Chain A
């Protein structure tokens, strides 16, 4: 590990990197705790009886009884003072226990892992697909700014970016599932089920990233060091490959990380439209049911994932441009 790390971050910077990671982890844990606590406070501030909503979520509105509501209230301790409920959650958390869902009665971590795996799978696929689309297009546009491809891509990107994802999804379903019958319209069982939701995500993400990539390429190509490389006799492509890619990649990596962070907390609309059991779907249902432990657990996990993805992006940027360590004591 240390050999690989020293090859990635040259010049004995591993110690600095480790310090950055440790500091960020502490920040992330504290942020996640604050997030979870805010979730708790917001849910408590909502009007209405939580026990009633939990009982209704378990059995459906028609089948709720006074007894089932009373049972939920007593068994889940919802009749205790709010601060006692919060203290109990903190106490359990200190022992590494996120508690259990008040609706399904399953451990929160288990529910999060189950839904998280679907969201991560779909999110990663959509994210990778978006860059498979955006990278070649963005670079090609950056090489010919103002050309027909650049103008066409810009128009398409603006259209896609301004369109809500459910519209894109409905369009894809109409074309590929209902008209051409190539792909299933919803579900989560096979690879084929993932194509349309992943493409819906990818198109939405690529609409933004293609412009970021295009602008980064244009900026880098106009930089002095690129002119210098050309003066030294390198072709445009060779100069870009040797001197441009690394520099252009820095803003793109930062933006890509932000986009990935955006996908990890789930896509409510896409998940609902495609009946995909991800974190967004879980969060919405938990909110409607006032499933406090699930909401708090999800808040923590999403916060930690955001922090982890941002940390990875920073590390990638340091790897791409080790000068960034200079100000951090390396």
Chain B
């Protein structure tokens, strides 16, 4: 009987030791070095496929494309040091620079072609450029197009077709490891949450100033704020607007830049209450965008005066009459359009009630709040708005089956640096793409012609004309109603210098950052 308590003690000791070992394992495996740049950002790396996670690898400086975009939107040489285009606009020749992949393989036209052959079919936007063939010619990579494609250089920034080494692919052509050419390479990965990056010593350009980067995904906005306030990361991306004051008070430098993302009210133009442009304009005029921007987004400058924000200088036109709240004018427009108010204050026409349900989602926490604000604002013009908060995908499903009335969503306008990629998909395509938050039940042949003209045009002046025409049609027709733009808020630790914000969010330029010792 004496052995019984001893055995129990042994059991208890075993349990304690086991818990301690489980608890301590992360400590041993993941201790951070002192000279490490610590990044906290919201996006997890779910897979290694570039079509799915390519943006993370390019932003972090792991992968590179033939050309790159600068923060001001200009296209600059990337892995191609120069390029030329044939007179007929069908053949583009890229002279590759002397670069080395992270595994030591030299970049040449053959390896670039092999990468393109595998990734182009699964790319998000580049495959829409109509590349008919890819050839290796000495140190040149030659792309042959089916027809002239003006914004090809912007489409080549598509990070889902970044160049990877032959060793990055498995036998079936799937990406099995990220072996790029960027200033950082992956030292260790704990997908989906964390990447440990180390400097690529054989980088073709100026080497990164920090030797190591810890790149963590922190999905919860409040947690990112806490990390910023505690200065537990050097750079915290996508800080919630509510956290700006606290992070600033804690000594973090706050960088705010309006990025090409617009929160939009989607309308099903096939429904009678949204079919006429004056009615859509009246709905737009009912919205107090400045109030929403100041009160909910905490930045008055985010009130969307037109669809495309000023960050996209070539696509933002000062001569477009700003979208502003004018309830009196909105009511006059509706009266003129034959939508009289009923006894309950809600308008109706031909038995159709001036009402609808807006679908939105909570992944972007501000959207349901904006919907609530709009509910009150639209009531002032006699529109009865109901709100349904669910999954983001439910909006697309309702678009597809025609049941959508309204949707409140958010659109990234620059998956590639030229928003024509998004506009062509959202406003000029025959089918609704799952990732699109464009029009529903709306077709405008004039806009389609301008989009086609822009895509085929190489001449900058003529493209500018098409740009103005496209922006003008969207502004006048309002097949969607822009509500607010969006700003990227970054908290930067005082020990960090050289940080650059890229409004296009293509790259984080971590290689330019230094950390004070």
- Residues of A that sit less than 8 Å from B by CB: 4, 7-8, 10, 48-49, 52-53, 55-69, 103-106, 117-118, 120-122, 124-125, 128, 173, 177-178, 181, 184-191, 193-194, 198, 272-275, 277, 288, 319
Residue contact B43 to A189, C-beta cutoff 8 Å: no
Residue B27 interfacial (CB < 8 Å): yes
Interface residues of B in 12-39 (CB under 8 A from A): 15-16, 18-20, 22-27, 30-32
| Interchain CB contact (< 8 A) of B19 among A62, A121, A277 | A121
Contact partners of A61 in chain B: CB under 8 A: 363, 392-393, 435
Q: Pick the interface stretch among B45-53, B289-297, B451-459, B464-472.
A: B45-53
Closest A residue to B246 using CB positions: A178
Contact partners of B391 in chain A: CB under 8 A: 48, 53, 288
Residue contact A181 to B230, C-beta cutoff 8 Å: yes
Residue B431 interfacial (CB < 8 Å): yes
Residue contact A56 to B24, C-beta cutoff 8 Å: no
Cα of A58 to Cα of B21 in the assembled complex, Å: 33
Nearest CB of chain A from residue B110's CB, rounded to whole Å: 27
Residue B396 interfacial (CB < 8 Å): yes
Residue contact A62 to B435, C-beta cutoff 8 Å: yes
A186 with B7, Cβ < 8 A, contacts A52-B393, A121-B25 known: no
Cα of A194 to Cα of B22 in the assembled complex, Å: 11
Q: Which 10 A-B pairs have the closest CB atoms?
A: A121-B22, A124-B19, A64-B435, A185-B226, A59-B52, A189-B30, A121-B23, A64-B434, A7-B3, A58-B52
| Interchain CB contact (< 8 A) of B46 among A53, A58, A319 | A58
Residue contact A65 to B124, C-beta cutoff 8 Å: yes
Q: Pick the interface stretch among B217-225, B329-337, B493-501.
A: B217-225
Contact partners of B338 in chain A: CB under 8 A: none
Residue contact B220 to A62, C-beta cutoff 8 Å: no
Residue B476 interfacial (CB < 8 Å): no
Residue contact A124 to B232, C-beta cutoff 8 Å: no
A186 with B227, Cβ < 8 A, contacts A59-B53, A125-B23 known: yes
Residue contact A104 to B46, C-beta cutoff 8 Å: yes
A186 with B223, Cβ < 8 A, contacts A58-B47, A65-B124, A117-B25 known: yes
Residue contact A66 to B27, C-beta cutoff 8 Å: no
Residue B299 interfacial (CB < 8 Å): no
Residue contact A190 to B27, C-beta cutoff 8 Å: yes
Residue contact B226 to A56, C-beta cutoff 8 Å: no
Residue contact B433 to A187, C-beta cutoff 8 Å: no
Residue contact A121 to B26, C-beta cutoff 8 Å: yes
Contact partners of B220 in chain A: CB under 8 A: 272-273, 275
Interface residues of B in 46-64 (CB under 8 A from A): 46-47, 49, 51-53, 55
Interface residues of B in 366-396 (CB under 8 A from A): 391-394, 396
Closest A residue to B23 using CB positions: A121
Closest A residue to B231 using CB positions: A181
Nearest CB of chain A from residue B453's CB, rounded to whole Å: 24
Residue contact A275 to B218, C-beta cutoff 8 Å: yes
Q: What are 8 sample pairs from A and B whose C-beta atoms fall under 8 A apart?
A: A8-B8, A62-B415, A68-B51, A104-B192, A117-B25, A128-B19, A188-B30, A275-B193
Nearest CB of chain A from residue B211's CB, rounded to whole Å: 18
Residue contact A59 to B51, C-beta cutoff 8 Å: yes
A10 with B223, Cβ < 8 A, contacts A103-B47, A120-B22 known: no
Cα of A44 to Cα of B122 in the assembled complex, Å: 28
Closest B residue to A114 using CB positions: B190
Cα of A199 to Cα of B447 in the assembled complex, Å: 60
A49 with B223, Cβ < 8 A, contacts A117-B25, A121-B19 known: no
Nearest CB of chain B from residue A200's CB, rounded to whole Å: 13
Nearest CB of chain A from residue B140's CB, rounded to whole Å: 30
Residue B412 interfacial (CB < 8 Å): yes
Residue contact A105 to B30, C-beta cutoff 8 Å: no
Residue contact A63 to B230, C-beta cutoff 8 Å: no
Residue B86 interfacial (CB < 8 Å): no
Residue contact A8 to B4, C-beta cutoff 8 Å: yes
Contact partners of B412 in chain A: CB under 8 A: 62
Interface residues of B in 97-117 (CB under 8 A from A): none
Residue contact B25 to A55, C-beta cutoff 8 Å: no
Contact partners of B415 in chain A: CB under 8 A: 62-63
| Interchain CB contact (< 8 A) of A48 among B19, B49, B397 | B397
Residue B318 interfacial (CB < 8 Å): no
| Interchain CB contact (< 8 A) of B24 among A8, A173, A191, A277 | A191
Cα of A288 to Cα of B4 in the assembled complex, Å: 49
Residue contact B223 to A275, C-beta cutoff 8 Å: yes
A118 with B227, Cβ < 8 A, contacts A186-B232, A275-B219 known: no
Cα of A330 to Cα of B154 in the assembled complex, Å: 79
Residue B343 interfacial (CB < 8 Å): no
Nearest CB of chain A from residue B436's CB, rounded to whole Å: 9
Contact partners of A187 in chain B: CB under 8 A: 216, 227, 232
Contact partners of B277 in chain A: CB under 8 A: none
Cα of A60 to Cα of B51 in the assembled complex, Å: 10
